[in-house]
Structure 1
């Protein structure tokens, strides 16, 4: 079938809305009419080829939401008409997946970043038949239609606003999951969250939902810090203006119990560790551009636990509906992070995201499809 997709034709170039052909879904796949798709930092990283995969031309997008229009013969838990959120790909069969940790699947790279499905096939083709790199996070949802594997398609309630649910598939579940799944933050406890982008602010909201009583947000952006207070932060620290360690010790003389880092920066991570109470725990989400260096001679006697976190340690089929229920109950107002853009304004949305003007951009793709 002929669809419209946002194609990146070479490293660092703009997204171009292009007519392409999409195959029919295979036996374990579903065809989804995309209603909306969130924009994530990982899309920009792939556009700029920082990860080295996938190659070009490529169709990105990995926070899709939509409605199933066709299911493969071996798909039994989903049906035509289901409202769904698309999330990361995983095999579902390896030891890691079977023990409840699909975000660390042995096939994670191949199913999310290789530019093809696990067998090396492409679903998208130029009108002359030339293959296009795709299957980004097993979905490539910067398009009017997407083919996804049955494992990474999560059915959601039809009374939930489908046009804002896509970011639950990656960025928002990552931040919230670090608090809820990885750290299992306890009621009445304390947490410091470094970075107030969509991931960090999702962590702030999750910490409040779990009734943490001291929630410290750290950033250099005063607007974002002020906004974090609206979402649940009890204290904020501008690391350009204040000494983070000293300020945290003023708030909590014995140190903070939990930390979340979304920056990947050495100095930020070391500041957080130095601010933890003994046996404190740190979840690292941020993608680093330099090797991580830790002052182990200082931290060795503290019993700290450090965990690198992918996708919030989430089993998405369980966690995304949980986040939706929390949203519907008023406990997790992630809609406050979102600004919506027309699909044809994708490059404006990307620029606004990169420059910090928008926390979480969402493309309204279905409106484009019905207007052309």
Structure 2
């Protein structure tokens, strides 16, 4: 599954994800330290009909209906942040209008209520309170002269905030860690994609799962080829060899399938260079190969695999970033004798391979003895 491959890629490149997240966290904390604090003071206003001027019940009802349409509340919000109120407030405070440019003003109507919130943000905790108080007072006076049927007054007066609203080191750090981790995951996937061999993601003919075609036939075809070779070999010799790449087995569940196939493909190519055209190479399992050697005895096959083993035991580079892997090839060889069937000779080769995997002998030739024996280097071929 794609999600499983993504998780494996991120797990293999965990250091990149961690490094990116830590760098983002460090930058966020550095910005928090050098940034100027911003404080916020909030005032709340309530709008209501002016009972002293509404002597008739109908006038009171009409005023309440107007408040329900919210237009008066919205108008008062626009007045609060208007240029006129800013100019009048600057004059009342004894400062230039440009001084108020350092402040940020926002208004919000409380849902289902005739209440308006007015917030002022600035660099000084006391100044934001004074500016909010002054602008609120100026707006109340201005609106009171226009809408005499309504009164606007402070519901909550502003106060000097204790803590700044920004920067917030905890909040900024958590956001930076999250974004840094996400960016690190993207970089990890990009790095994994760059390491994937070219063309490995394409659909290869004969493979329903889209894997790259190997120079080796599937196992069921290999068994059929072996039965055919046994039935037609006559008096000629025939051997079967099984190759297991022990170093690759440790990475099957962590490396991308394309990378595993690339290494297996490399081993198959090395075998093909040493074998005859009539010899057959098949897939033994996820990390192994199988070979039918027509006209070749077991000891002769062992000599060929010695040359292959020397190449495979060198560190294998499997990506463009210089990543290498140490392989430990093991060979189990069985020579066809005594009218043995295909499954029987494969069983003998498996037994030889298991013996090669358990001890220091990397190449074991099965012989018609109670147990497999290793190749005698002084044996005549």
TM-score (norm 2): 0.17
Higher share of residues assigned strand? 1
Higher share of residues assigned helix? 2
Larger Rg: 2
